[in-house]
Structure 1
Amino acid sequence: MCRNIRQLHNFEPPATTDEVDAAALQYVRKVSGSTRPSQANQEAFDRAVAEVAHATRHLLDALVTTAAPKDREVEAAKARARSAERYAR
Structure 2
Amino acid sequence: MIGDAEQRQLAEIEMVLRRDDPAFVRHFDKWSLTRRRRHVGAILAILVVSAITAVARVLGDAGTAVIVLSVTGGIAIAFGLWRCRAQLSRRST
Q: TM-score when scaled to structure 2?
A: 0.35
More helix by share: 2
Where relative contact order (Cα < 8 A, 6+ residues apart) is larger, the structure is: 1
Bigger radius of gyration: 2
